[in-house]
């Protein structure tokens, strides 16, 4: 009599996917129409939705890793800004090539994340505090590196111009439809899903988040897992920063302010537990898309941006509330 029908369990398990579906359907219904065509489902608009989501999405994948081990990373938005500035300064002001610039930016983000991992895993400071400090430090570094203002990126072969190959990253579409940033997000997401599915490391990661003491006693290298996870999160945040720079054709130290909160929202809507040890990247991707569709349809209907914030807030609470209703096992 108490056995829950598996349908309910499935609904809850993929709650973010069904949520996304529901929001998608609602978007179609409430979409403005033009000459009988539903604007929301037009190829251009859908491509825009995913393009707009891709940066937050990439960050949110890294955030999922951190939250799975029971941590949090508040520095991702600032690291994104640091990476955007880095890309612009290196290519425009220092006349570096495409590959060395991107590599240095990614390495910087990775090391930044790893250092935060060291502080939380080896010194034992809570990740909330470590990354709160990291946020300030990354912002400060970005200001110093950029001289305090945005660096515009123009493309060409001359001095003070970024290589045109960098512009292609933002403009060229794959198969004539999928923008490159979306492709990067997709590759990151799929790689993360596969990685969490097959790797021994992911078992360690889930175990650390599920019961750190039991994990340590089982021989899981807890410190190494934590450092690696924060490094991955830093790497993905800096990757998102490169995508950001190329989409806006500039790198500003104020880029990515508040992105950490959107990323956390996507993870939470995706059903990953803030307590750690439970959740998935697939859920996060659905959560990020859900937020993107929501933003898009509200914008299409010219809903006041303040109202948009209200609605977003309510969606986050609703998603969290749904998780509380989830059957125990």
Partner 1 sequence: MRQDAALVRMERIGKRYGGVQACRAVDFTLGAGEVHALLGENGAGKSTLMKILSGDVTDFDGQIEIDGTPVSFGGPTDAQAAGIAMIHQELDLVPGLSVADNIFLGRELRTPLRTVDRRRMDREARALLERSGVRIDPRRPVGDLRVGEQQLVTIAKAISLDARVLIMDEPTSALTTTEVERLFEVIRELRRAGVGIVYISHRMEEIAQVADRATVLRNGEIVTSFDPRKLSTAEVVEAMVGRPVQTMFTTPDTDTGDELLRVDDLKLTARRPRPGRRDPDGISLTVRAGEIVGLAGLLGAGRTELLETLYGVAPTGTRSGRILLQGKEIRPRSPRQALAQGIGLVPEDRRASGLVLFHSILANTVLSSLPAYGRLGVIARRLERGASVKMADRLRLKFGRLQDEVGTLSGGNQQKVVFGRMLLTEPKLLLLDEPTRGVDVGAKAEIYRLLGELAGQGLGVLLASSELPELIGVCDRVVVLRDGRDVASFSTADSGEGDLLAAAMGEAAVIGDVL
DSSP conformation class of 34: E
- Of 60, 68, 78, 220, the residue at the interface with partner 1 (CB under 8 A) is 220
Decide: is 6 part of the binding site for partner 1 (CB under 8 A): no
Decide: is 126 part of the binding site for partner 1 (CB under 8 A): no
Which residue's CB is nearer to partner 1, number 176 or number 219?
Answer: 219
> Measured from the CB of residue 278, what is the shortest distance to partner 1 in angstroms?
7
The alpha carbon of 316 is separated from its chain's Cα centroid by a whole number of angstroms, namely 16
Among 88, 148, 92, 137, residue whose Cα is nearest residue 111 = 137
Which residue's CB is nearer to partner 1, number 2 or number 35?
Answer: 2
Instruction: Please identify which residue in the block is written with the tokens 């439809």.
Output: 177
Decide: is 80 part of the binding site for partner 1 (CB under 8 A): no
Decide: is 150 part of the binding site for partner 1 (CB under 8 A): no
Cα-trace Rg, the chain: 20
> Measured from the CB of residue 280, what is the shortest distance to partner 1 in angstroms?
14
Q: Candidates 151-159, 180-188, 198-206, 236-244 — which segment interacts with partner 1 by CB under 8 A?
A: 198-206
Rounded to whole angstroms, how far apart are CA atoms 313 and 253? 27
Decide: is 226 part of the binding site for partner 1 (CB under 8 A): no
Interacting residues of 137 by C-beta distance below 8 A, sequence separation 6+: 75, 78
245-269: burial string, b at 16+ Cβ within 10 Å, e else: bbbbebbbbebbeebbebbbbbbbb
Decide: is 201 part of the binding site for partner 1 (CB under 8 A): yes
Decide: is 221 part of the binding site for partner 1 (CB under 8 A): yes
DSSP conformation class of 190: H
- Alpha helices (H) in 119-173, listed in sequence order: 127-146, 164-171
Which residue's CB is nearer to partner 1, number 114 or number 207?
Answer: 207
> Measured from the CB of residue 18, what is the shortest distance to partner 1 in angstroms?
22
First to last CA, the chain: 16
Interacting residues of 55 by C-beta distance below 8 A, sequence separation 6+: 80, 181, 185, 240, 243, 244, 247, 256, 259
Decide: is 2 part of the binding site for partner 1 (CB under 8 A): yes
> Measured from the CB of residue 200, what is the shortest distance to partner 1 in angstroms?
4
Q: Provide the mask over 265-304, with x wherever binding to partner 1 is found by CB under 8 A and - wherever it is not.
A: ------------xx--------------------------
Decide: is 216 part of the binding site for partner 1 (CB under 8 A): yes
Instruction: Show the tokens assigned to 215.
Output: 């994990």
Q: Are 280 and 271 in contact (CB under 8 A)?
A: yes
Q: Candidates 150-158, 159-167, 180-188, 214-222 — which segment interacts with partner 1 by CB under 8 A?
A: 214-222
Decide: is 13 part of the binding site for partner 1 (CB under 8 A): no
Q: Which residues bind partner 1 (CB under 8 A)?
A: 1-3, 198-201, 203-204, 206-207, 210-211, 213-221, 277-278, 329
């Amino acid at each position: 009599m108490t056995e829950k029908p598996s349908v309910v369990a499935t609904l809850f398990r993929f709650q973010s996917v069904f949520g996304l579906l529901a929001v998608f359907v609602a978007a179609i219904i409430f979409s403005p129409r033009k000459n009988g065509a539903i604007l929301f489902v037009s190829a251009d608009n859908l491509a825009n939705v995913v393009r707009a989501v891709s940066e937050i999405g990439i960050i949110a994948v890294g955030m999922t890793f951190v939250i799975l081990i029971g941590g949090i990373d508040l520095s991702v938005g600032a690291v994104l800004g640091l990476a955007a500035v880095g890309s612009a300064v290196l290519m425009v002001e220092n006349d570096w090539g495409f590959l060395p610039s991107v590599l240095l930016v990614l390495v910087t983000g990775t090391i930044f994340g790893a250092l935060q991992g060291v502080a939380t895993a080896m010194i034992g400071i809570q990740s909330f505090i470590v990354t709160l400090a990291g946020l300030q430090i990354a912002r400060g570094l970005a200001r110093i590196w950029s001289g305090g203002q945005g660096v515009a990126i123009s493309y060409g072969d001359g001095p003070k111009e970024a290589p045109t190959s960098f512009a292609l990253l933002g403009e060229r579409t794959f198969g004539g439809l999928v923008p490159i940033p979306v492709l990067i997000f997709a590759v990151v997401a799929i790689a993360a899903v596969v990685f969490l599915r097959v790797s021994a490391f992911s078992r360690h990661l889930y175990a650390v988040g599920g019961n750190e003491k039991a994990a340590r006693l089982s021989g899981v290298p807890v410190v190494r897992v934590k450092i690696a996870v924060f490094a991955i999160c830093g790497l993905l945040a800096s990757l998102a920063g490169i995508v950001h720079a190329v989409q806006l054709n500039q790198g500003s130290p104020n880029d990515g302010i508040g992105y950490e909160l959107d990323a956390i929202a996507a993870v939470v809507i995706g059903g990953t537990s803030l307590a750690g040890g439970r959740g998935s990247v697939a859920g996060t991707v659905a959560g990020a898309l859900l937020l993107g569709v929501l933003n898009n349809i509200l914008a299409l209907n010219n809903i006041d941006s303040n109202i948009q914030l209200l609605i977003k807030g309510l969606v986050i609470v609703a998603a969290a509330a749904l998780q509380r209703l989830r059957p125990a096992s």
